[in-house]
Amino acid sequence: MPKFYHAVSLALLVALTQTSCSTTKAAEQQTDTSAKAESSERAKPASRSGLKSYSEVITKDAISDEGVFTIHKVGDKYYYEIPDSLLQRDFLWISRFANLPSGLGGGYINAGSAVNEQMVEWQKFADKIVLKTKSYNAYAADSLPISLSVKANNYQPTLYAFDIVALTPNSPGYVIDVTKFFLSDVKAFSGLDADMRKEYKVSKLDDNRSFIQSAKSFPLNIEVKQDFTYDATEPPSNSATGSISIMMNQSMVLLPKVPMQPRINDYRVGYFNINQYDYGSEALKADEKSYIRRWKLVPKDIEAYKRGELVEPVNPIVYYLDPATPQKLRPYIKAGVEQWQEAFETAGFKNAIIAKDPPSPQEDPDFSPEDVRYSVIRYVASTTRNAMGPSVSDPRSGEIIESDIIWYHNHLRSYRNRYLLETGAANPSARTLDTPMEDLGEMMKEVITHEVGHALGLPHNMKASSAYPVDSLRSGAFTQKYGIAPTIMDYARYNYVAQPGDKNIRFVRQLGPYDHYVINWGYRYLPEAKTAEQEVPTLAKWIEEKANDPMYRFGSGSGGFDPESQTEGIGADVVKASTYGLKNLKQVAPKLYDWTAAQTNDYDDLQELYGELLGVWSRYIGHVVTNVGGVREERLKPNQEGYIYNPVSAKEQAASLDWLLKNAFSSPEWLNQAKISRNIHHANYVESIRNLQARHLNNLLSPDRMARLMENEVNKVNYNALDMVRQLQRGIWSEVYSGATIDIYRRNLQKAYLDRMDYLLNEKPGKSSRYGTPVDISQSDIRSIARGELVQLQRQLKSARTRHANDLTRYHIDDAIVRIDNILNPQNS
């Protein structure tokens, strides 16, 4: 029965036999000439000393499998037959888990997870064949003299050396024994990294319990499965055995001779990328080049494509469902994959991405989810609540050649819980543990679409969710058309802004305008551009045409300083959005018992959801914290007007801190639902609130935030670090000024404040660079401010202590006075 080949294989096979459209005849002739010379040099026969005849090694009992290399199994030995023509060719080697024990790596590693990805080449040296790593991080064209220095100063490791045991009879080539190699614990291909070996106390690979499971050769790849058992005194599971057994899948893929024409990355648009240093550049340095990671899509009919017609690609992107996927979920997973067809149509392609059921053994006896020829939606039996969308790409060009989407079995529970908590006030469908399958299916579809987006080359775009006016998210017409954010690649999962009574609201995220824009930017075929550089003017023009429309902005969310680029946020005004969110949460909290324990006669779900409710409350608070000392980032090039970094206005920062004092640092009595707290824990509620409030307080008083506030002085923003600390201190200690009794929540919070001031004043001098905002605490205004404000606070406390009749309040004030003495004079404490 013929083997079933994936579209990726066909794409690579075509690439192997064709030259790039940008290759000139002269370049082709030069390549052919040098290739012939190289082949002639490699074809010189090796010394026959110690070599056996081919028939002595590959006997009549050999089981042979022809492919990129022919594999022979003779008894318990495995041999590779390597054609001379494939020496010094680029291969991509991917090491994956095929099977693994429960709990390995903390639950975020699963069958199908890649543990290493590296480019290799096979070379002949004397009477040996050596396997070496190869890198394109540093390069220069072979025609340039500097290429000699690049090679000399970037010498790559030898992974293994094989004796040549025989020569091939009918064409130049070499036979090597790979048995020992695949039965050895070679670190570059192992599933157990150094941290795992240390954590599980791995001593050695047990040779007696390790073997080669299978080795198969295909036209462009080889797949080998190894069954390894290690001696380990503290394994992640089955501790009585004192061992860890894993099955590894080693994929070796032949890359095209001519790489795909890359597309130059532009940081104003979101794509994962590969970076290279070009030492042949005319710049006065090694020129760093960045190319986006994307699949190779070429129209079948280029002329029709030029006319603006939708055209199918020569090789579409194909995803197969894992055979382990439950039948009832398959339609939603397929819909999640194929939802991207809409965006690819914007780029001129139809049927560019397709989801298929796994082939039956009759259709393809060689199908394996670990096989790099197949991109698979892996369904993982794990309690982990997550999903991922990794991919494998050609390090020379950024061409994605395979990806596996990972879906963990328990992930829908997380979405069920968030759906109930964040939308339950306005969405009757969410007020149950038995969420309708239609709603769950919609959530799953959108998660799959998000993860496939990663596999298409798209990173998170956390900036996008700040594009829409907050009140537009309460409009049915708006949300049904535009969703709750312009992209599926943001962490804008649910519409927590919509209020009870709002009609026809879209509550779940969906594909948006940015997704169409970014796929067109990265995937539209530009037939007139013969080099990556020739594409740049067109690509830049597309970006600048959308520059003033917030729906097409990109921001990674890294750095933690931009309030418009945050995880889980929605809407252009974080204060307003969080106000709506808290208003909804205050309606959900009293109903939580009725929606859970009252229905199930069990407290487990109630306990789980209440813990997550506290997390949702904390998340809304955190969004507003980022406004204080916040800096909005606009990704611009010098030919565009404006500044990249723009501090949040003084008015917004002061108003945000005032909001925090009222909503984050006041006593949250509404969270103390007796039916909940007194049924799920004997004593934990007060400590949970203290922990969350202290976390946000410490975040406000972090050195990196204070560094940005100090910069406001030179940026002419009339709100600096002293203004913030003074406003915060007066709010945290408001009872000292008013004479009110200080309750338990506030006493805890005030002690947390003193601990943080102690940290700022007495931490060992050094540079704090959290979130990339470096500051030397000991040589900045931070300690001056902390000392000055603590002196003021101590004076107020001494004056106020006699005004408080409540013993516990007075004892707390006395304790605070002593604590401040110890902070200001640590040598006396």
Instruction: With respect to residue 107, please indicate whether it lies within any of the assigned structural domains.
Output: yes
Strands 173-177 and 91-99 come out as unpaired
Integer Cα distance of 398 and 275 in angstroms: 9
Q: Report which of 734, 705, 696, 732 is spatially closest to residue 614, judged by C-alpha positions.
A: 696
Higher pLDDT, 409 or 784: 784
pLDDT digits (tens, 9 = 90+) for 753-768: 999 999 999 987 555 5
Strands 317-321 and 375-380 come out as parallel
Q: Assess contact for 307 and 527: CB atoms under 8 A.
A: no
State whether residue 548 is helix, strand or coil: coil
Instruction: With respect to residue 331, please indicate whether it lies within any of the assigned structural domains.
Output: no
Residue 733 binned pLDDT confidence (cut-offs 50, 70, 90): very high
The mean pLDDT of the chain is: 88
What distances in angstroms separate CA 70 from CA 50, 67, 222, one per listed residue?
22, 5, 9
Integer Cα distance of 740 and 273 in angstroms: 57
HSE on the CB side for 150, CA within 13 Å?
21
Instruction: Tell me what percent of the residues of the chain surpass a pLDDT of 70.
Output: 88
Helices in 425-471 by DSSP H: which ranges? 437-455
Higher pLDDT, 133 or 112: 133
pLDDT at 805: 75
Integer Cα distance of 8 and 10 in angstroms: 5
Q: Report which of 798, 821, 819, 820 is spatially closest to residue 810, judged by C-alpha positions.
A: 798
pLDDT at 460: 94
Of 205, 223, 257, the position where a domain reaches its end is 257
Whether the pLDDT of residue 223 is over 80: the answer is: yes
Instruction: With respect to residue 166, please indicate whether it lies within any of the assigned structural domains.
Output: yes
Which of 401-405, 418-422, 578-582, 589-593 bottoms out in mean pLDDT, i.e. has the lowest? 401-405
State whether residue 60 is helix, strand or coil: coil
DSSP-assigned letters across all residues of 312-359: -BSS-EEEEE-TTS-GGGHHHHHHHHHTTHHHHHHTTBSS-EEEEPPP
State whether residue 625 is helix, strand or coil: helix
HEC states along 648-716?
Answer: CCHHHHHHHHHHHHHHCCCCCHHHCCHHHHHHHCCCCHHHHHHHHHHHHHHHHCCHHHHHHHHHCCCCC
Whether the pLDDT of residue 456 is over 60: the answer is: yes
Q: Report which of 455, 707, 658 is spatially closest to residue 559, judged by C-alpha positions.
A: 707
Q: Is 88 left (phi over 0), alpha (psi -120 to 50) or beta?
A: left
pLDDT at 152: 59
State whether residue 793 is helix, strand or coil: helix
pLDDT at 137: 66
Q: Residue 444 CB: number of other CB atoms within 10 A? A: 22
Task: Fill in the amino acid letter for 303.
Answer: E
Per-residue pLDDT averaged across 776-794, rounded? 94
DSSP-assigned letters across all residues of 131-184: EEEE--SEE--TTSTHHHHHHHTSPPPEEEEEEEEEE-SSSSEEEEE-HHHHTS
Residue with tokens 């802004």: 497
Q: Report which of 772, 572, 548, 546 is spatially closest to residue 642, judged by C-alpha positions.
A: 548
Domain around 819: 664-829
Is the sign of the CA dihedral 667, 670, 674, 679 positive or negative?
A: negative
CB-neighbour burial class of residue 61 (10 A; exposed 0-12, middle 13-18, buried 19+): exposed
Q: Residue 136 CB: number of other CB atoms within 10 A? A: 17
Whether the pLDDT of residue 346 is over 70: the answer is: yes
pLDDT at 7: 37
Residue 518 binned pLDDT confidence (cut-offs 50, 70, 90): very high
Q: Report which of 566, 417, 584 is spatially closest to residue 498, judged by C-alpha positions.
A: 584
Integer Cα distance of 546 and 274 in angstroms: 25
Domain count, the chain: 2
Residue 143 binned pLDDT confidence (cut-offs 50, 70, 90): low
Of 237, 257, 277, the position where a domain reaches its end is 257
Instruction: With respect to residue 432, please indicate whether it lies within any of the assigned structural domains.
Output: no
Instruction: With respect to residue 549, please indicate whether it lies within any of the assigned structural domains.
Output: no
Whether the pLDDT of residue 36 is over 80: the answer is: no
Higher pLDDT, 404 or 266: 266
Integer Cα distance of 571 and 479 in angstroms: 12
Instruction: With respect to residue 162, please indicate whether it lies within any of the assigned structural domains.
Output: yes
pLDDT at 41: 38
pLDDT at 578: 98
Higher pLDDT, 473 or 559: 473
Our measurement of the distance from residue 276's CA atom to the centroid of its chain's CA atoms, rounded to an integer in Å, reads 21
Instruction: With respect to residue 583, please indicate whether it lies within any of the assigned structural domains.
Output: no
CB-neighbour burial class of residue 755 (10 A; exposed 0-12, middle 13-18, buried 19+): middle
Q: Which helix (H) or strand (E) holds 513?
A: helix 513-523
Residue 30 binned pLDDT confidence (cut-offs 50, 70, 90): very low
pLDDT digits (tens, 9 = 90+) for 63-117: 999 999 999 999 999 999 999 999 999 999 999 888 888 888 776 677 777 788 8
Is the sign of the CA dihedral 759, 762, 764, 767 positive or negative?
A: positive
Residue 770 backbone phi and psi in degrees, to 5? -60, 135
- Beta bridge pairs of residue 139: 278
Span between the terminal Cα atoms of the chain, in Å: 83
pLDDT at 276: 79
Instruction: Tell me what percent of the residues of the chain surpass a pLDDT of 90.
Output: 69
Integer Cα distance of 262 and 207 in angstroms: 44
Q: Assess contact for 464 and 514: CB atoms under 8 A.
A: yes
Which of 16-30, 149-163, 366-380 bottoms out in mean pLDDT, i.e. has the lowest? 16-30
Per-residue pLDDT averaged across 346-367, rounded? 93
Q: Which helix (H) or strand (E) holds 820?
A: helix 807-824
Residue 415 backbone phi and psi in degrees, to 5? -70, -35
pLDDT at 138: 58
Q: Residue 826 CB: number of other CB atoms within 10 A? A: 11
Task: Fill in the amino acid letter for 200.
Answer: Y
Whether the pLDDT of residue 132 is over 90: the answer is: yes
DSSP state of 437: H
**Token pair of 714, please?**
């030179």
pLDDT at 212: 96
Of 211, 233, 257, the position where a domain reaches its end is 257
Instruction: With respect to residue 609, please indicate whether it lies within any of the assigned structural domains.
Output: no
Q: CA angle, 569 as apex, 563 and 573 as ends, to 5°?
A: 55
